[in-house]
Amino acid sequence: MEALILQYVDIYVLQIMVLIGINIILALGLNLITGVTGQLSMGHAGFMSIGAYTSAILSLQFGMPFWLCLMAAGLTAAMAGVLIGIPTLRLEGDYLAMVTIGFAEIVRVVFLNLDIAGRGMGLSGIPANTSFSVVWGLVIVIVLLNTGLLKSRPGRALYSIREDEIAAEASGVNTTLYKVIAFAMGTFLAGIGGSLYAHYLTYISPQDFDFMRSVEYLNMVVLGGMGSIPGTILGAVILTIAPEGLRFVEDYRLLFYGGLLVILMIFRPNGLLGDVRWVDVKRTWARIRGQAVASSGSDS
Amino acid sequence: MAILEIKNVSQEFGGLLALDRVSMTVEKGEIFGLIGPNGAGKTTLFNLITGIYRPSSGELWFEGRSIGGLRPYRIANVGIGRTFQNIRLFKKLSVLDNVRVGMHSVSRAGFVSAMLYTPWAIKRERVTREKSMALLELVGLQDKAIELAGSLPYGEQRRLEIARAMALEPSLLLLDEPAAGMNATEKEELLGLIRKIRDLGVTVLLVEHDMNVVMNVCNRIAVLDYGRKIAEGTPEQIKNDPRVIESYLGVEL
């Protein structure tokens, strides 16, 4: 697959495409937690790093096959998610934000001090198992699963928690359980993304998974549209390409991100595609076509 | 036959006694009104029944089982639906989706079957959609199914909340000031809707300030004042009860 693509584009472009795919997976995970269910998580990079290190260590130290490492990465991250999710999510209010900030920092410091994780030097020589097909194959599967989920009963229950948690409970939704499940699913995807990341760059260190990393994924979800799958994908694409395409503002990157968010919050507080519903798109299209027909037809 | 029994329930918030040894029984199939001045404890009682608070003392029995202290979603599952005083709709979801969330405990499609698009889940989705559309027809909102709930005018938002509560397929429906903010025509329609709901076999417990509505549609009424029940009886009895007149209804000049 990669050979085929390289016939048309630069290897640099191919690398960007793989990174976009990895970021889509991570962003979709965060979208489930924050965009759909409304639970603000500011430690997504922490779960990503759990996945990355788990996968790298299992691969380097124990020689386990890639697919096994990948699954283990997702499951370990999800278990961590459940562990901190259960005590936190039974509370009403935005405590998850605080807990996840703290948790991600704790994780970073732990890996910084673990010998098996390479301490400050990190891990290098990780087998390069991540390829274009692996990543994008997973993206397609994950998008399909996500779409099925969000159009059905459990998906509606998650949206209702974001909209009004008390009314959701009164409608029969076990909000604590569903919040934890959403968090587990989101962190699972973070772990998968982390593993793909590790086996692509072949080198990871604690600095790769700092608070700014968590903010980047949050930006993708917020920019693209909270709760929207196409929106999140769009956000991931834009914000993966932007740092590359805007290398000349490298030093002003933080300024750029801050400015982008401010502009967004003023004009499109729900993200680019956050308020866009498929049914509205269809209606607008029908109206455009109706007008086109009316103006091109003869007097009636 | 009693569907809801409230036995000696008291509710304390810090030093404040919001409910003081309140007891009442709602019979199956009736429309029971709960009235009283603001702050009397009516919504507190609703919140107790629906699990938002746990009673400081006393018992709550529904269809023969104790429900005091159960979490709100469990109360919804046993068949008690409610609307809220200041309307809690899922504003960014469609009208149809609001009702479909209400069907949450009725349909049983889970995470895995939804993600995998199993035929069983798809069938349950179809059933959910049909039942939800039927409920929208009951309240007259079927033409607005795909509109955003937040875009509806006030009166229609109230009707949507009732439809959502009815989606639980409840045996008992708690309506918290459903007529608030409605004009005369809307109130007439509301009376008709409440009677239709009763005719469908649902018992209704109604908190309301509009006496026309209450006296017109309720079989029995209880009056709360400062957390205590001060009277209970038929609309005729309540209208003429001196304690009620003094504390709430007012004397004719």
Q: Has residue A260 got a pLDDT over 80?
A: no
pLDDT tens digit sequence for A41-96: 999 999 999 999 999 999 999 999 999 999 999 999 999 999 999 999 887 778 88
Mean pLDDT of chain B: 92
- Which two structure tokens, joined as six digits, stand for A211? 């608070």
Spatial CB neighbours of B138, under 8 Å, sequence gap ≥ 6: B163, B166, B193, B196
Write the ipTM: 0.92
Q: In 10 A of CB B180, how many CB atoms?
A: 15
Q: Has residue B79 got a pLDDT over 80?
A: yes
Inter-chain CB proximity B114 and A153 less than 8 Å:
yes
Q: Which residues of A touch B102 (CB under 8 A)?
A: 171-172
A255 by Cβ neighbours in 10 Å (0-12 / 13-18 / 19+) ranks as exposed
The pLDDT score that the predictor gives to residue A8 is: 84
CATH number of the domain within which A262 lies: 1.10.3470
Are A228 and A274 spatial neighbours (Cβ–Cβ below 8 Å)?
A: yes
Rounded Cα distance, B75 and B81, in Å: 8
**Total domains present in chain A:** 1
Could you say which of A157, A166, A277 has the minimum Cβ distance to residue B104? A157
Q: What percent of chain A has pLDDT over 90?
A: 64
The pLDDT score that the predictor gives to residue A297 is: 46
The pLDDT score that the predictor gives to residue A247 is: 66
Q: Which of A94-103, A272-281, B59-68 has the lowest mean pLDDT?
A: A272-281
Q: Has residue A246 got a pLDDT over 70?
A: no
- Which two structure tokens, joined as six digits, stand for A169? 């409970």
- Which two structure tokens, joined as six digits, stand for B64? 């023969």
**Res. B251 pLDDT band, cuts 50 70 90:** low
Q: For chain B, how many residues are written? A: 253
DSSP assigned state of B104: G
**Res. B173 pLDDT band, cuts 50 70 90:** very high
pLDDT tens digit sequence for A187-238: 999 999 999 999 999 999 999 999 989 999 999 999 898 899 999 999 999 9
Collapse the DSSP code of A197 into the 3-class scheme (helix H, G, I; strand E, B; otherwise coil) and give the result: helix
Could you say which of A149, A160, A174 has the minimum Cβ distance to residue B115? A149
Are B42 and B221 spatial neighbours (Cβ–Cβ below 8 Å)?
A: no
Q: In 10 A of CB A217, how many CB atoms?
A: 28
User: Cα distance from A34 to chain B (closest Cα, Å)?
Assistant: 15
Q: Which residues form the domain of A289?
A: 2-296
The pLDDT score that the predictor gives to residue B252 is: 59
Interval A32-44 mean pLDDT: 94
Q: Per CB distance under 8 Å, which residues of B are interface residues toward A?
A: 50-52, 71-73, 75-77, 81-82, 84, 88-94, 97, 100-105, 107, 109-111, 114-117, 121, 124-125, 128, 146, 164-165, 167-168
Q: Please, where are the H alpha helices in chain B?
A: 42-49, 72-78, 95-102, 111-115, 119-139, 154-166, 184-199, 211-217, 235-240, 242-244
H/E element, B27: strand B16-27
The pLDDT score that the predictor gives to residue A299 is: 47
Rounded Cα distance, A110 and A99, in Å: 16
Interval A95-118 mean pLDDT: 93
Are B154 and B181 spatial neighbours (Cβ–Cβ below 8 Å)?
A: yes
Q: What percent of chain B has pLDDT over 90?
A: 76
**Res. A249 pLDDT band, cuts 50 70 90:** low
Rounded Cα distance, A266 and B243, in Å: 56
The pLDDT score that the predictor gives to residue A300 is: 42
The pLDDT score that the predictor gives to residue B179 is: 92
Inter-chain CB proximity B100 and A153 less than 8 Å:
yes
Collapse the DSSP code of A38 into the 3-class scheme (helix H, G, I; strand E, B; otherwise coil) and give the result: coil
Concatenated DSSP letters of B188-206: HHHHHHHHHHHHTT-EEEE
The pLDDT score that the predictor gives to residue B14 is: 86
Inter-chain CB proximity B97 and A156 less than 8 Å:
yes
Q: Has residue A296 got a pLDDT over 70?
A: no
**Nearest CA-CA partner of B102 in A165, A180, A160:** A160
Q: Has residue A248 got a pLDDT over 80?
A: no
Best of A91, A142, A152, A281 to disrupt the B interface (most B CBs within 10 Å) is A152
Q: In 10 A of CB B46, how many CB atoms?
A: 22
Mean pLDDT of chain A: 89
Q: Has residue A298 got a pLDDT over 60?
A: no
- Which two structure tokens, joined as six digits, stand for B131? 């039942």
Residue at B17: amino acid letter: L
The pLDDT score that the predictor gives to residue A278 is: 79
Q: What percent of chain A has pLDDT over 70?
A: 95
Domains and CATH numbers, chain B: 1-79+170-253 (3.40.50.300), 87-168 (3.40.50.300)
Could you say which of A156, A170, A173 has the minimum Cβ distance to residue B50? A170
Q: Please, where are the H alpha helices in A33-174?
A: 44-62, 66-89, 95-113, 132-150, 153-163, 165-170
User: Three-state SS across B1-13?
Assistant: CEEEEEEEEEEEE
